[in-house]
Structure 1
Amino acid sequence: MAWYVYVLRAFLALLVLGACAWGSMALAYRCPGPAPVRYGVISLWVLLGIAAFIALLRVRAGVPLRGWPLGFWVAMILLVGWWQTIRPSNDRDWAADVAQRLDSRLDGSHVTLHNVRNFEWRTETDFTPRWETRDYDLDKLVSADLVLSYWMGPAIAHTLVSFGFADGKRVVFSIEIRKKQGQKFSAIGGFFKDFEATLVAADERDILRVRSNVRGETTYLYRLNIPPQALRQVFLGYLERARELDSEPAWYNTLTSNCTTIVFEIARLIAPGLPLDYRLLLSGYFAEYAYDQGGLTPGFTYAQLHERGDFVQRALAAGDSPDFSTRIREGVPGDDPKVTP
């Protein structure tokens, strides 16, 4: 048997192995029916994959490329067909913190946001829900801050953007997983249509304080170096994404459609030449990427911005104080006028 046949069969065997692993996870997260049925379907799928894998490696026995391998690929086509029928929805029994969808109204420079989240958090499970309507004047939009909240090591962070106005108002935008009641987040599940995506607009004392003070996450704040004429485009870009998710629900994907990729997508509308980078996937390094592109406060090293941007202790000291937003920015370059290079 020619050498290239061995190579081809080895390659197909690896494909079978990968497809078997993917299919197992897809069935584990999305196969309908009670647990015994789901486990039974997964077991049959794995057995079929193992049989196809072994058959492909039995080169010396002269097993032709039919039988188990052919059966597996037919099953794979059926599985992918079923997978495509699973569609996202806006109508489920949602967890309280993502129960409402952002609704915006634009009248010239005046923006009205309905369903701005302003929860009072005592613990992750003990909170007072509040959804509010707030008004903003885009002519007074003066700043945007990048916030990274680390919840799983140095490489993974949740990305938020907070917009500031000359009259002291602030609003934070964040792409979040839309959990159902009782559902827990899973980074693996985010690859397998386990969560829809939603865009949350929130008060800083809600969405930043719950991460720094309640969940104990390490949080950093960086002033973004965005020209004044571009700030409005970035702000409106978030509102457009919220409208898209409202009219056409979408899955949250841990890799390709998450809290960091939307920031990059909106930034690219303003600066189309922004390069792709591994730090767009390893979101914990996104601030460093922004710094390299000139997107953070100039005149400081990245190490200085990183050190001074850690606001956890300031947030803990501020608690639920009305001046929470001012206190967490003390010492942050670009936000605190007393800090100079």
Structure 2
Amino acid sequence: MTIWGAAMLYFSPLLAESWRPLAAGAYAAITLLAFLFLPRRRRTLLGSVVAFAVLVVLYFQIPASNDRDWEAEVANLPYATINGDRITIHNIRNFEYRSESDFDPRWETRTYDLNKLDSGDIIAVYWAGKAIAHVMVSFGFAGKDYLTVSIETRKEKGESYSTLAGFFRQYELYYVVADERDVVRVRTTYRQPQEDVYIYRVNGPLKNLRRVFLDYIQSMNDLRERPSYYNTLTTNCTTSILFHTRMNPESPPMSWKVLLSGYLPDYLYDLGRLDTARPFAELEKLSLVNGRAHAADRDPAFSQRIREGLPNPRVMP
């Protein structure tokens, strides 16, 4: 409790940055000294609990905002308008990259027919070993149009990501809605060092996939009206995917393989949600798309080309 309270003060935007380490250190020191030297431990504990409760109340009063000086990659919020089965999505990111930091911003509006939604793929991105991956979902329409959603932090200009800070309401939650030529290609080709990108085609009923897609749409629109915070544990790129499946009766249960996001593909394989006609190690090798992404590069058929050789998803009505 003391450590958590000190951390809340250390990361609190309610204090000037220069005062945060002092406030955190003072809180921890006073609490520790009180337990060491005050004779009435029960009152000391009660006082500590009250002080922590005050911090928690203040912590949850910190408002999220859509009005900050954002990095160019997250400058515009995606949102959708729905007209029957036709869904028009605004602010789809499709940047033209020369390097990760040198690009021409391009935001697009596209309309999708919900009746043509026929596949859902998991995209897992690795950069430092097996345990941790960034995970995205790609929705396919009529086997040719793919829309990827990546749940991330919305960073301000000059702001860097910290896993620890992500526990303490430091970053707004953001849904990157993008063309695969943007969100895949920047990782396979332009980011240095390049990252390993795997695409796994998910099996399951189409009715479930459509419910998940519409839930994503609802969340995008909600964030436009009511900004919210990213949390390293509860609303990260992988746990959020699981939460979006909760309206389906076949939703996967929570697992340590969700928390250690690099093992999510293994978990889906164990549940029979991926192609199980071959060992997972073989499927994993097939699913690495970096070579095909380099070859496809700016080809308008980029999404089709990076899926060449992948097992087709087994979908049901």
SS at match of 2:269: helix
Question: What are the ranges of 5 or more consecutive residues in structure 2 without an aligned counterpart?
Answer: none
Q: Which amino acid in the other structure matches residue 216 of structure 2?
A: Y
Q: Which amino acid in the other structure matches residue 142 of structure 1?
A: D
Percent identity (aligned): 43
Determine whether 1:137 maps to 2:113.
yes
Q: Which residue of 2 aligns with 1:91?
A: 67
Q: What is the correspondence of 1:16-165 to structure 2 with a 5 Å cutoff? A: 19-55=1-37, 63-65=39-41, 69=45, 71-165=47-141
Q: Which residue of 2 aligns with 1:178?
A: 154
Structure 1 position 87, deviation (Å): 2.0
Are residues 145 and 139 of structure 1, via their aligned partners in 2, closer, same or farther at CA, if it must alter by over 3 Å? same
Q: Which residue of 2 aligns with 1:283?
A: 261
Structure 2 CA distance for aligned equivalents of residues 96 and 314 of structure 1: 28
Are residues 77 and 143 of structure 1, via their aligned partners in 2, closer, same or farther at CA, if it must alter by over 3 Å? closer
Q: Does the aligned pair in 1 maintain the 2:95–2:106 contact within 8 Å? A: yes
Q: What is the correspondence of 1:192-207 to structure 2 with a 5 Å cutoff? A: 192-207=168-183
Structure 1 position 288, deviation (Å): 1.2
Give CA-to-partner distance per residue, 1:233-262, whole Å, 9 cap, x none. Answer: 222121011122222221111111111122
Q: Does the aligned pair in 2 maintain the 1:162–1:172 contact within 8 Å? A: yes
Give CA-to-partner distance per residue, 1:111-157, whole Å, 9 cap, x none. Answer: 11111110112222211111111111222222111101123432111
Structure 1 position 317, deviation (Å): 2.8
Structure 2 CA distance for aligned equivalents of residues 270 and 89 of structure 1: 31
Determine whether 1:334 maps to 2:290.
no
1:267 aligned residue (213, 232, 245):
245
Structure 1 position 24, deviation (Å): 2.2
SS at match of 1:275: coil
Determine whether 1:189 maps to 2:165.
yes
Structure 1 CA distance for aligned equivalents of residues 234 and 37 of structure 2: 35
Structure 2 CA distance for aligned equivalents of residues 70 and 298 of structure 1: 55
Structure 1 position 186, deviation (Å): 1.1
Q: Which residue of 1 aligns with 2:231?
A: 253
SS at match of 2:11: helix
Structure 1 CA distance for aligned equivalents of residues 85 and 22 of structure 2: 58
Q: Which amino acid in the other structure matches residue 283 of structure 1?
A: S
Give CA-to-partner distance per residue, 1:289-319, whole Å, 9 cap, x none. Answer: 1112221124222222211111122222322
Q: Does the aligned pair in 1 maintain the 2:234–2:240 contact within 8 Å? A: no
Larger CA deviation: 144-153 vs 128-137: 144-153
Larger CA deviation: 293-302 vs 192-201: 293-302
Q: Which residue of 2 aligns with 1:8?
A: none
Q: Does the aligned pair in 2 maintain the 1:55–1:68 contact within 8 Å? A: no
Structure 2 CA distance for aligned equivalents of residues 152 and 312 of structure 1: 16
Q: Which amino acid in the other structure matches residue 85 of structure 2?
A: S
SS at match of 2:26: helix
Structure 1 position 38, deviation (Å): 2.2
Question: What are the ranges of 5 or more consecutive residues in structure 1 without an aligned counterpart?
Answer: 1-18, 57-62, 336-341
Are residues 135 and 90 of structure 1, via their aligned partners in 2, closer, same or farther at CA, if it must alter by over 3 Å? same
SS at match of 1:111: strand
Determine whether 1:297 maps to 2:291.
no
- Kindly report structure 1 stretches of 4+ aligned residues shifted beyond 3 Å: 31-36, 66-74
Structure 2 CA distance for aligned equivalents of residues 137 and 183 of structure 1: 37
Structure 1 position 103, deviation (Å): 1.4
Larger CA deviation: 34-43 vs 182-191: 34-43
Aligned pair count reads 311
Q: Which residue of 2 aligns with 1:10?
A: none
2:144 aligned residue (152, 168, 174):
168
Determine whether 1:310 maps to 2:288.
yes
Structure 1 position 267, deviation (Å): 2.2
Q: What is the TM-score normalised by the length of structure 1?
A: 0.85
Q: Which residue of 2 aligns with 1:15?
A: none
Structure 1 position 190, deviation (Å): 0.9
SS at match of 1:270: coil
Q: Which amino acid in the other structure matches residue 328 of structure 1?
A: I
Structure 1 CA distance for aligned equivalents of residues 8 and 265 of structure 2: 33
Give CA-to-partner distance per residue, 1:187-206, whole Å, 9 cap, x none. Answer: 11111111111112100000
Q: What is the TM-score normalised by the length of structure 2?
A: 0.91
SS at match of 1:295: coil
Structure 1 position 68, deviation (Å): 5.6
